[in-house]
């Protein structure tokens, strides 16, 4: 190889190696990008609004059926169910309901509910004023609790959606209790759990 050739090769190798390192970083950048992407497209039904609602008028011309579903992963021993399986609301109307949870084990546990909305198109219109899923839920051995959910459906909900399913998966966080976790919150920045 001539000297000039060697120089060229060296420059090329540095560039290619930089590209490889940059792509390694890009792999990690996909994590926040994915959240942004989900928010824009409504992927995964997670881009619902949280916090105080600014809905003024109630649309009494139609009702929307809200179904509640609860899921326990295999390793989660809690009893967890909605008090009402399904309810009908007017868009714009505040509605409160509750979920029942009981810790049947002999030790103290902490759980976190993770919500998801189907169809995902409806997710931005389901506004949660207050939800037990905003916080971790500790329970003493054998204790039970009613966990409130206050929500309102935005009257701008597209006409063709007549049923919204709100699903909660309940995860055991007892072991991770000492680690601080954050879940990105679309409206209020970060909610520390």
Partner 1 sequence: MATVDVDLPHVKEEDQHHHGPAKGLGRWLYTTNHKDIGSMYLIFSLCMFMIGGIMALIIRAELFQPGLQLVEPNFFNQMTTMHGLIMVFGAVMPAFVGLANWMIPMQVGAPDMALPRMNNWSFWILPFAFLILLSSLFMPGGAPNFGWTFYAPLSTTYAPESVTFFIFGVHIMGASSIMGAINIIATILNMRAPGMTLLRMPLFVWTWLITAFLLIAVMPVLAGVVTMMLMDIHFGTSFFNAAGGGDPVLFQHVFWFFGHPEVYIMILPAFGIISEIIPTFARKRLFGYASMVYAVASIALLSFVVWAHHMFTVGMPLVGEVFFMFATMLIAVPTGVKVFNWVATMFRGSLTFETPMLFALAFVVLFTIGGFSGLMLAIAPADFQYHDTYFVVAHFHYVLVPGAIFSIMAATYYWLPKWTGHQLNETMGKIHFWLSFVGVNITFFPMHFVGLAGMPRRIPDYALQFADFNSMASVGAFIFGFSQLVFIYNVIQNVRVGEKATAQVWEGAQGLEWTVPSPAPYHTFSTPPKVD
Q: Please report, as ranges, the residues that interact with partner 1 according to CB under 8 A.
A: 1, 5, 8-9, 12-13, 16-17, 19-28, 30-31, 34, 41-45, 112, 114, 118, 120-121, 169, 171-173, 176, 179, 181-184, 193
- Which is closer to partner 1, CB of 26 or CB of 108? 26
- Which is closer to partner 1, CB of 100 or CB of 171? 171
Least distance in angstroms from the C-beta of 164 to partner 1: 15
- Which is closer to partner 1, CB of 43 or CB of 58? 43
CA distances from 29 to 22, 23, 35, 42, 72 (A): 10, 9, 10, 19, 31
- Which is closer to partner 1, CB of 12 or CB of 96? 12
CB contact set of 173 (below 8 Å; sequence gap of 6+): 110, 111, 112, 136, 181
Measure the CA–CA gap between 51 and 53, rounded to whole angstroms: 6
* 187 close to 51: Cβ distance less than 8 angstroms: yes
Q: Which two tokens stand for residue 22?
A: 């940059």
Measure the CA–CA gap between 170 and 157, rounded to whole angstroms: 27
Least distance in angstroms from the C-beta of 87 to partner 1: 24
The residue with tokens 């021993």 is 77
Least distance in angstroms from the C-beta of 154 to partner 1: 19
């Amino acid at each position: 190889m001539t000297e000039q050739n060697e120089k060229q090769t060296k420059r090329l190798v540095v560039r290619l190696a930089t590209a490889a390192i940059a792509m390694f970083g890009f792999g990690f950048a996909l994590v926040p990008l994915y959240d942004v992407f989900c928010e824009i497209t409504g992927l995964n039904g997670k881009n619902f609004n949280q916090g105080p609602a600014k809905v003024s008028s109630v649309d009494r011309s139609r009702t929307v059926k809200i179904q509640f579903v609860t899921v326990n992963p295999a390793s989660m021993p809690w009893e967890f169910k909605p008090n009402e399986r399904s309810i009908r609301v007017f868009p714009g109307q505040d509605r409160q309901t509750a979920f029942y949870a009981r810790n049947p084990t002999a030790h103290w546990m902490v759980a976190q509910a993770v919500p998801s909305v189907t169809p995902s198109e409806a997710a931005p219109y389901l506004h949660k004023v207050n939800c037990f899923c905003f916080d971790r839920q500790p329970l003493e051995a054998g204790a039970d609790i009613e966990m409130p959910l206050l929500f309102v459906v935005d009257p701008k909900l597209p006409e063709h959606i007549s049923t919204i399913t709100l699903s909660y998966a309940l995860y055991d966080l007892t072991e991770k209790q000492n680690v601080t976790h954050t879940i990105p919150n679309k409206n209020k920045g970060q909610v520390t759990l």
